[in-house]
Amino acid sequence: MVRRIAIVAALAATVAWFLSVAAARHGFFDLSVYWGAVNYRVDGHEIYDFVRPGAEYGFTYPPFAALVMAPMAVLSWPAAIVVSVVATVVVSAVILYRLVDPLARREGWTRWFAFAVAACLAAAYEPMRETVNFGQVNMLLVGLVLGDLLVLVKPGRRLAGIGIGLATAVKLTPAIFVLYLLATRRYRAAAVAVATATGATVLAAVVTPDETRVFWTDALLNTDRIGNTAFVSNQSIQGAVTRLGLPVPWPTLLWGLLAVAVLAVWFRRLRVAVAAGDELTGYTLTAIVACLVSPITWVHHLVWILPAVPLLVGTALARSTGRRRRWWLLGFAACGYALLCSRLVWPYDDPVGPLEQLGSDAYLLFCLVLLFVLPVPAAGSVAGSEGIADHGDVRPNRDRVAAGGAVGDEPVPPVEPVGPRVPVERP
């Protein structure tokens, strides 16, 4: 116990030092836009007319998001910061526990120790620290979608899809998970998601008709409100092709072709995950595609792919994984994690040569590789407890040994799945 506490304390101190020298200070910029916009609206103005003082950015989310954020108007600026940080930390901790605890139980690790180590590592993850430092809503939306997929989307659950619908009403990007529900033939959940997003949007239209009209006819189409597509923080396919400096219309055509190709790969791999009943891998593949095909994927948006590293590690440690593949997966997970902690892309904001271009697209390239190599269990395999796939692991854990399972290299009889499987609705 003392040794584990010392290791966690040393790791936490190392991460704190790393953050003190490596983490950018954004002064909760995005939160200041939300807070300023809702206060601007309380003063009698339209929220989409707001422009943050000293910048060119205004409120870019749908009107329903403005309704959800309206309570910020009663908070002071310091109180708004505290609420933002606490909410992000709490939701992130719940998600991280959900990702790590099943793996810790499967491998026989001390559960609190595994979670503490994972929490320290997550704090150094650049998209996570950017989300906190900007005061972004990313992790709250990830929580809605993951909660929907890992808890609500099960046979007989009437609320399945409501989390995805709410997330879509707040920010349009999560709408791709409606496509995920359709691709996995959960038509009822997809209908609930669409109905929820539509209902929330209609509610916002009733409460704020003028702002709703402005958003859907002007603000949504005004890309200048979001930022420069070529900015190095945009790690989407469109950001990469825009930085190439090609003449019009080549960037748009190239983006369209690459987006279609990425979606085709996603659908093919997703079908394998669906056949295996692996919900978490299906979510992660969809999150990767969302980051790739979205017109704008700022670095902090990459928190959506957070489950990728636990999935890579979980597969690497599975008993059925060969030694060579195990070390390859662990190396890839370690390199990917290090890359997404490194701020490598930032020095290449204005790439002028091939190597600089690669540097400016480093996170995007990792996501592309991840789309192809993220382990997907074979059809018919059993999903691991609470969302971590065993990917064919036959190592007996303590529960199986206690039940009379074999020890050592001998496989144990198949067991019923205890984690979320992907239910397939027949047409």
Give residue-wise pLDDT tens across range 298-348: 999 999 999 999 999 999 998 888 889 999 999 999 999 999 999 999 999
- Residue 38 is predicted with a pLDDT of 95
- Residue 223 is predicted with a pLDDT of 64
Q: Residue 32's closest CA among 67, 63, 68, 75?
A: 75
Structure-token pair, residue 363:
């996170």
**pLDDT classification of 397: cutoffs 50, 70, 90:** very low
For the residues 111-139, what does the mean pLDDT come to? 95
Q: Which residues touch 236 (CB under 8 Å, ≥6 apart)?
A: 291, 292, 293, 294, 295, 296, 297, 364
d(CA 326, CA 272): 21
- Residue 157 is predicted with a pLDDT of 75
For the residues 152-169, what does the mean pLDDT come to? 86
For the residues 103-111, what does the mean pLDDT come to? 92
**pLDDT classification of 426: cutoffs 50, 70, 90:** very low
CB 167 within 8 A of CB 64: no
Q: Is the per-residue pLDDT at 408 higher than 70?
A: no
Percent of the chain with pLDDT over 70: 87
pTM: 0.86
| Across 20-29, 35-44, 60-69, least confident range | 20-29
Burial environment of residue 191 by CB neighbours within 10 A (0 to 12, 13 to 18, 19 or more): middle
Q: Is the per-residue pLDDT at 412 higher than 50?
A: no
CB 80 within 8 A of CB 35: yes
